[in-house]
Amino acid sequence: MEFKKLYLMLTMAVILVLAACSGGSEEDTSTEESASEETSTEETAEEETAEEDASEEESADTIAYENQFEIGSGERGDEGEGTQIDETVELPKNSDKVVIFDLGVASTFAALGLEENIIGLPKGENNASLGGTISDVYESDEDYVNLGGLKEPDYEALAALDPEIVMIHGRQSNSNVVGELEKAAPNAEIIHVAADNSNYFEDVKEMTTFIGEMYDVQDKAQELVDDLDTQLAEVNEKVAAAELPMLFVQTNGGNLSFHGVGGRYDFLYNDFGFTSAGEQAESEETTDSHGNEISFEFIAETNPGLILLMDRGAAVSEGEATSTDVLVNEVTSGVDAIENDNVYELNPQNWYLNAGGYLTALAQVEEINAAVDAATAE
């Protein structure tokens, strides 16, 4: 009996020991699993934080640009026959490898003191495409590679530059040129930056603001925009007070044309507030880019109080600008603008080749101010 009791006691003791060992093992296992879960959670959090930091860093290094334009099949892009581009492009901020085919926007870079970030632009033969407003800034071929003409770029020179950004104008927005630009600059983002004729000064200001953000000079950009607004308002008041019907006449190799409401220089009417002295009959040929062909009789019939004269031929060649005398003859001798010597010659580079940027737009405002002042001087 005593032996059986002892045996039972030993058996119970072994069971208790085994149970205790098993409980400790489970507790250790639970502790290890808990520690492992905590480590995994910490690693996941660190990975997510690293990803967020990388995303923020990438966002800080780029800026979004709404790239909207039509790639046409014709020389400047035939409406309705091209491919509409509507995309958001991430551009590298503070890039110093920018190529610009829009000479107006090149003037915006200069106004902001950012011209050193441009590595090439189409200056034409003997820098003929650069008007007086930007010629002093970009004349050095060593600092700014000449990329040929506005319509016939030097693709080989472009390829050698390997730019990060290529900014184009309407003159390059056709399938042939865009295709060649893509081949020559495969690592670049190609964006359309030209100001729209129907929203001209607003587009100039918006581009000034965008470039300011792109290079972290927002305060400078805002100063420029405010100054342009002020000068526009002042000229607008003068135009309204003068009450002079205006005719914008373009000459080109002896031919005359005019730009009216809704045309290439629509901002003369929308932003400056001019009243057009003439309207074109529906049966006559109308073009937005080169104006509507007119005769001396048309000038006499419309009898403008002010004529703004722009010589396209001088802009696209190295010839002398057409004199205002070209408009004076027996047919036009009785026109108010001619009788009162209110014919003002505009700078053809600022108005034709280099329009659409800050400095060139400001020069346009100054020219209109001078024209109105002269026409209303007593």
Q: Which helix (H) or strand (E) holds 166?
A: strand 165-168
Contacts of 10 (CB under 8 A, 6+ apart): none
Q: Is residue 69 domain-shared with residue 178, that is, in the same domain?
A: yes
Same domain, 200 and 317: no
Q: What is the pLDDT along the chain (378 residues), one digit of tens a residue?
A: 454 454 455 556 545 545 555 555 444 545 555 555 555 555 565 666 555 554 444 456 999 999 999 998 765 444 446 789 999 999 999 999 999 999 999 999 999 999 999 999 999 998 989 988 999 999 999 999 999 998 899 999 999 999 999 999 988 989 899 999 999 999 999 999 999 988 999 999 999 999 999 999 999 999 999 999 999 999 999 999 999 999 999 988 778 999 999 888 999 999 999 999 988 654 444 444 567 899 999 999 999 999 999 988 766 655 555 567 788 899 999 999 999 999 999 999 999 989 999 999 999 999 999 999 999 986
In a domain, 5, yes or no: no
Q: Where are the beta strands (DSSP E) in 188-312?
A: 189-192, 246-252, 255-258, 292-293, 306-311
185 and 284 assigned to the same domain? no
Give domain status of residue 131, yes or no: yes
Residue 132, in any domain of the structure = yes
SS3 of residue 121 by DSSP: strand
Q: Say what the pLDDT of residue 41 is.
A: 57
pLDDT at 74: 62
Co-location of 216 and 264 in the same domain? no
pTM, rounded to two decimals? 0.81
Q: What is the SS3 assignment for 71?
A: strand
Please answer whether residues 224 and 208 qualify as being in contact, where contact means their C-beta atoms are separated by less than 8 angstroms: yes
Check: CB of residue 21 under 8 Å from CB of residue 13: no
Tokens describing residue 108: 């915006």
Q: What is the pLDDT of residue 51?
A: 58
Instruction: Judge whether 45 lies within some domain.
Output: no
Residue 77 domain-assigned (yes or no): yes
What span, in angstroms and rounded, lies between the C-alpha atoms of 368 and 195? 19
For position 290, what pLDDT does the model report? 65
pLDDT at 256: 92
CATH number, position 320: 3.40.50.1980
> Strands, E, within 226-305: which ranges?
246-252, 255-258, 292-293
User: Are residues 189 and 272 located together in one domain of the fold?
Assistant: no
Q: What's residue 373's pLDDT?
A: 96
Among 227, 258, 288, where does a domain finish? 227
Same domain, 169 and 283: no
Domain hosting residue 290, numbered range? 241-376
Same domain, yes or no: 126 and 190: yes
Domain co-membership, 119 together with 262: no
When divided into structural domains, the chain yields a total of: 2
> Is 364 in the same domain as 333?
yes
CA dist 65 and 20 (Å) reads 70
Query: Domain for residue 25, yes or no?
Result: no
Q: Is residue 340 part of a domain?
A: yes
Cα–Cα dist 143/149, whole Å: 18
Q: Are residues 167 and 105 in contact, defined by beta-carbon separation less than 8 angstroms? A: yes
Q: How far apart are CA 138 and CA 116, in angstroms?
A: 10
Q: What percent of the chain is helix, strand and coil (3-state, nearest 5)?
A: 50, 15, 30
| pLDDT at 216 (0 to 100) | 98
Q: Is residue 42 part of a domain?
A: no
Q: Are both 113 and 164 inside the same structural domain?
A: yes
Answer yes or no: are the C-beta atoms of 168 and 139 closer than 8 Å. Answer: no
Around 37, how many Cα atoms within 13 Å sit in the side-chain half-sphere? 6
* Residues 325, 193 share a domain: no
Q: Do 247 and 340 belong together in one domain?
A: yes
